[in-house]
């Protein structure tokens, strides 16, 4: 285990201002997790030296969102694509420490 193999990148798509009455009675939701943009729960190993690293990713909003196999009343959800956001964080996979976070609306 070394510093060179411990940093992983995670990128998530989220949405604010989603209106839906959940099972707990809450009707307005922020930071709703939509999905992983990169490697998901495994993260993506970062090989960092002293050089600048630039990465590009593509992600598309699922056309059927928020339909799923678990909830039958999702058709009642109100949302706006302009409320999409991306959150990226770098985590030391061994210590679980989050060493950097960035977000963009």
| Domain ranges across the chain | 3-104
Is the pLDDT at 48 greater than 70? The verdict is yes
Q: Residue 56's pLDDT band (boundaries 50, 70, 90)?
A: very high
Q: Is the peptide bond before 33 cis (omega within 30 degrees of 0)?
A: no
For the residues 59-86, what does the mean pLDDT come to? 74
Could you tell me the pTM of the whole model? 0.79
10 Å CB burial of residue 25 (0-12, 13-18, 19+) is exposed
Q: Residue 76's pLDDT band (boundaries 50, 70, 90)?
A: low
Is the pLDDT at 95 greater than 70? The verdict is yes
The pLDDT of residue 57: 93
């Amino acid at each position: 285990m070394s510093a060179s193999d411990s940093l992983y990148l995670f990128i998530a798509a989220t949405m604010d201002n989603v209106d839906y009455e959940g099972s707990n009675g809450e009707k307005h939701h922020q930071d709703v997790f939509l999905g992983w943009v990169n490697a998901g729960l495994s993260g993506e190993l970062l090989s960092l030296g002293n050089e600048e690293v630039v990465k590009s990713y593509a992600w598309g909003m699922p056309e059927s969102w928020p339909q799923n196999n678990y909830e039958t009343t999702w058709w009642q959800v109100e949302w706006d694509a302009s409320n999409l956001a991306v959150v990226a964080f770098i985590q030391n996979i061994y210590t679980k420490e989050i060493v950097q976070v960035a977000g963009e609306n």
